[in-house]
A and B are shown apart, each in its own frame.
Chain A
């Protein structure tokens, strides 16, 4: 690879090229769409190139670039990736293409701004996953909010204003607390450099403070219970592409933050807070699942199911063992694929019917069999049927959770029953039972829509049958991370875990 700055290309190519689109005449809609599609495709190809040259055998940061930015404050443009971030970048580049494709006819006004916004989001997302400098990380973290805010606020549904403001305030409050943490850390250590900070053994009290400061930002993003209520509103009101990016990438940033910052910087604090994190995760799994049972809006149901699925992710992460963390990471990717696909599916049918109410559907399988078949596959992937990707992640997380804390593992496993109940209920209401004749006019999937869903269909089975293709990227980085976390304080962790056991 030499010194080729592939990460900078991945971050700034969509941003710069996206801004270039603004130069086009707004009346040339197909040119604008085509340009956006080409840009996202090119970026995906770049990311494939990165994947090809990635070295799975090491846990050190790769493709590192470090440039002075504000030397007086020791702020650097410092990026690099490892086995934890690389798959998230791949997912981001792939999902962006699909988002552009699915919006082709769904977005009618301000087309130029929409696609520019999507490309800006892509750049910022990748920036978040690459940053190794806390200041830079914060910039990307916040920068991503602005286009996202606009995507929901401008192209969203009827109640978009409320949803946007809620989303913005929620995440802003969290981010500001994280900013305080970053500043305090800088005041005490004089650096924003993550690698340098990781080598310092921060005092326990500082770790505890930092853990909670970061937690505020990450928990909102994940979203963890009880700070999840922005998600159903934002997901429901966002345009399809917005929902997909929210579900597939944006909420993964919280979980990624735990892995990239909270655990390595505050290992002792993380260990001592594990019980709380496990409890919150288990609540999210069950609570998020149960609440799905009574939803009347398809999108809202899938949104709440995200709360449940992300509970599995955080459970895995805070199980703090190999299966848990790898399962959690895999589940991040899987949820991106599955829920991304489900939101794409909903967007595709919404474009035809203009309703998201479950009661307006029924018997759709007769009119759109191909669509029904694909939706069925994604439904069963969400339920975690073996052979699909959802199973592997969920199983590893439950295994890891069970290993770390038996009651947590058992309670998380009830999620598989609830998950089956609400997803099959939804499927029944929409696709089975007496057909609603008003739906008969709707055509089955077009070639473009098939092109959007087929890559995800492929991934569902590819990851489900050959998960080692993804897990192999994680092994080194995860074992390195866990070694760092579990190094010192095993004794202390044990005592707390034991206290936790005594509750049950």
Chain B
């Protein structure tokens, strides 16, 4: 495959963006989706060609042009397509293509139809630049560019205050992560003299043992770099403590939630950690931080999802939780397992979102599960595909989610460290919660009786085929995408891990027996089934149970329902104090008070003094003669003393 074809992969969506943005509204109108779909379809075909190239052993790594040069600092724009990138290319272009098609139906009749498709193209371009980068600077470019698209698409319905706020929040919260990420990139350059992956990864080991002095402490250099990079991942992949933007991001159109806030952009953090695993592997501290952040986030977000009633928010918290699993895997050195889960998750989570979108479409934008119920018979395709996606995420054997989640839990368990065992425990509990909230959603939404208005009931319908076909295709992914990584214990070949091994060699953990592996797997299956059963009992059999429970533990319920009050906490300790400082200390006191006081004070003082002095010029002769006499006396005294 020639160099130009690789360049075309991101370039086509970029061109489509420019053309659609400028000409879409005026010339394409209702057909504004044509060019973006052709572009992403071409990228998809090229990505498959790239994958087959990689499979046959051809790694592409070439610089295209020199971006910035200043003294010894030089960065290029260049592409690296290896096993890791190839997987990401497939994930990004496949989901993007399906979401494009789905959006034809979902966004039909929207005022900003062409703008929407232009943004989707821009996003696809940015995400492809991110995953194809061969250096940190271009990674950063893609990183920020997808952030821009996220901002634009969350705030797509910009006239809605909450949507506009959510877009801004997403961007600013991400900037906190990028602050660390940027410093990490700068430190890599300062200590290694380059930002090329090749150079950095082959030289990073030489920095082992180096320390830097910060605030009176000596910090291991590699740990510091790894943690700074991880800051970026925490922001982009919505991990604690920067997870707050992702649930709000659900203000965006649902196809966007599926593409950006489930399948692709939010996984960029996981991708980045896997890409830079050569750095993370050299720091136990950093690895532990990654693993524990992931594990804690997984269970934290899952608990919130238990009680939410907004159908999209449940799926959003589920995404945060699943991203936690991926970091858990990275943190125990099982990067391939993390990427495997990223890849299967992209299908079943995108499917969940698009199903949720399909439900919203039928319900005229209604998001509250409590007002749904019994939708099964009105929209069978949506029901069955969503059911399969939920089974997949719950870890039911044979489906995609089972293989990848089991792989993570097993790798964590067998890592032979306390951290590994700890995050395994967190992950297993989270698996129970995941199964529960996923089926709570299914039961409440699709089973029972309809609880919405008559008007809504009248309009209930299955979505058009442009929407259901992508659902069915994604459903195939949610079922079958895991089959490339069937563990050897079940007679598979662990094909995924083998495929990734040239990029990501597995860190060997402690050897555990087959029996242990079987037990761990059995446990996670049982736990998934238990979760589904509990949901079944609570929402199908004894429907009074949920209310009883929340009445029994009102505080727990309130804390979970209010998402642990994290937003309120940030408002209290960051937003308000910063505004107060800006207003009180900086503006009123320093700027208006001291500085302007002096600036306006000096002229006023001069004015004041001169007006007083001018009074001496009274024009009265006796005054003058008295001053004259006084002056003479003073002079005489001085002369005498000398």
Contact = CB atoms under 8 A, between A and B. Distances in A.
B72 A432 contact: no
B455 interface: no
Interface in A357-397: 363, 365-366, 380, 385-387, 391-392, 395-396
Contacts, number: 130
Contacts of A395: 68, 182
Contacts of B168: 424-425, 428
A434 B215 CA distance: 47
A323 interface: yes
Given A403-B190, A431-B158, A432-B164, A291 B179 contact: no
A321 B599 contact: no
A175 B343 CA distance: 64
Contact of B73 (A386, A396, A424, A472): A396
A466 B68 CA distance: 7
Contacts of B179: 413-414, 416-417
Contact of A323 (B71, B148, B165): B71
A424 B171 contact: yes
Given A387-B145, A398-B186, A431-B158, A321 B582 contact: no
Identify which of A402, A435, A472 gathers the most chain B CB atoms within 10 Å of its CB.
A402
B24 to A, nearest CB: 12
B144 A323 contact: no
A428 B165 contact: yes
A287 interface: yes
B465 interface: no
Given A396-B73, A428-B165, A467-B68, A287 B586 contact: yes
B591 interface: yes
A417 B172 contact: yes
A276 interface: no
A402 B187 CA distance: 9
A355 B579 CA distance: 25
A363 B158 CA distance: 8
A230 B68 CA distance: 35
Given A326-B70, A431-B158, A424 B186 contact: no
A272 interface: no
Contact of B70 (A380, A425, A428, A471): A471
A402 B144 contact: no
Nearest to A376: B152
Nearest to B588: A294
Interface string B134-163: 000100110111001001000100111100
B189 interface: yes
A420 interface: yes
Given A420-B172, A432-B164, A293 B71 contact: no
B462 interface: no
A432 B189 contact: no
A386 B175 CA distance: 13
Interface residues of A, number: 56
A208 interface: no
Given A420-B171, A432-B159, A386 B599 contact: no
A363 B586 CA distance: 30
Contacts of A398: 182, 186
A301 B518 CA distance: 63
A431 B158 CA distance: 8
Interface in B562-614: 578-579, 581-583, 586-587, 590-591, 595-596, 599, 603
A475 B69 CA distance: 9
Given A402-B186, A424-B168, A229 B73 contact: no
A19 interface: no
Contacts of A294: 579, 582-583, 587
B158 A166 contact: no
B161 A433 contact: yes
A70 to B, nearest CB: 35
Interface in A456-483: 465-468, 471-472, 475, 479
Nearest to B215: A504
B171 A471 contact: no
B561 interface: no
B72 A387 contact: no
Contacts of B581: 290
B141 A386 contact: yes
Nearest to A482: B71
B248 interface: no
A229 B69 CA distance: 36
A275 interface: no
A385 B145 contact: yes
Interface in A393-436: 395-396, 398-399, 402-403, 409-410, 413-414, 416-417, 420-421, 424-425, 428, 431-435
A326 B69 CA distance: 10
A399 B73 contact: yes
Interface in A131-153: none
B28 interface: no
B178 interface: yes
A169 interface: yes
Contact of A465 (B67, B160, B178, B595): B67
Contact of B159 (A169, A321, A366, A475): A366
Contacts of B159: 363, 366, 432-435
14 contacts: A294-B583, A326-B70, A386-B145, A387-B144, A413-B183, A425-B168, A428-B164, A431-B158, A432-B158, A433-B161, A471-B70, A472-B69, A475-B70, A479-B71
Q: Which 9 A-B pairs have the closest CB atoms?
A: A322-B71, A432-B164, A386-B141, A432-B158, A290-B582, A424-B168, A326-B70, A417-B175, A420-B175
Interface of B: 66-73, 137, 140-141, 143-145, 148, 151, 155, 158-161, 164-165, 168, 171-172, 175-176, 178-179, 182-183, 186-187, 189-190, 215, 578-579, 581-583, 586-587, 590-591, 595-596, 599, 603
